[in-house]
Amino acid sequence: MNNSGFICGLHHSYIVDDIGIDKIFSKIKTQLAEKEKNQVTLLYLSQSNQFFFEKELDLLEKEYTLQFIVFYENTIEANLIQAATQTILNINVMSEMNFIISGNKGFYNSIANHLKFSGINQIQIQKQYFV
C-alpha cells in the first residue's frame, strides 16, 4: 500500500451493453488470471433484461471474490448509469483506474459523456465493427 491509502495496482472498469460483452469477456478472464494485483469491475447494461454470459460471470465473481465485481442493470437511464459509475469510483482501492467502454456507438458515446461529467477523461472505447 502506498501513502495515499491505495494498493499499487490497476483497476479495470468495464462498462458494456449486450453487444459489447462478447468482445470483452475473454479480456476479463485474462486479467483475473494474471499474477499482478488487479481489480476488475463490470457494469453490464441491458435493455432486454437478458444478460449474456451471466452464469459464467457469476462463477468468476465467486472464484475471484476480492478481485471481481459485476453490476447488472436492465436500463440505460442516465441517473442509474451515473449512480453505478459513482459506486465503481467509491469502491476503488487501486492506485490507477482504467475505464473501457464496449458497445454500440450511441451507447459508448452516452457512457463516455457520463464519465467525463464525473471527471474521468481517460477512457478507452472498444468499438464494434460488423461486416
Question: So where are the chain's domains?
Answer: 7-127
Predicted model pTM = 0.85
Residue in 53, 12, 2, 6 with CA at minimum distance from that of residue 32: 12
Residue type, 23: K
pLDDT at 131: 42
CATH code 3.40.50.80 for 7-127: yes
pLDDT at 1: 45
Reported as a single tens digit per residue, the pLDDT across 2-35 is 445 667 888 999 999 998 999 899 999 999 988 7
pLDDT at 130 over 70: no
Reported as a single tens digit per residue, the pLDDT across 72-123 is 988 767 677 778 888 888 888 888 889 999 998 888 888 888 888 888 888 8
Q: Could you write out the DSSP letters of every residue in 114-128?
A: HHHHTT---EEEEE-
pLDDT at 6: 66
Average pLDDT, stretch 62-80? Answer: 85
C-alpha cell at 8: 499499487
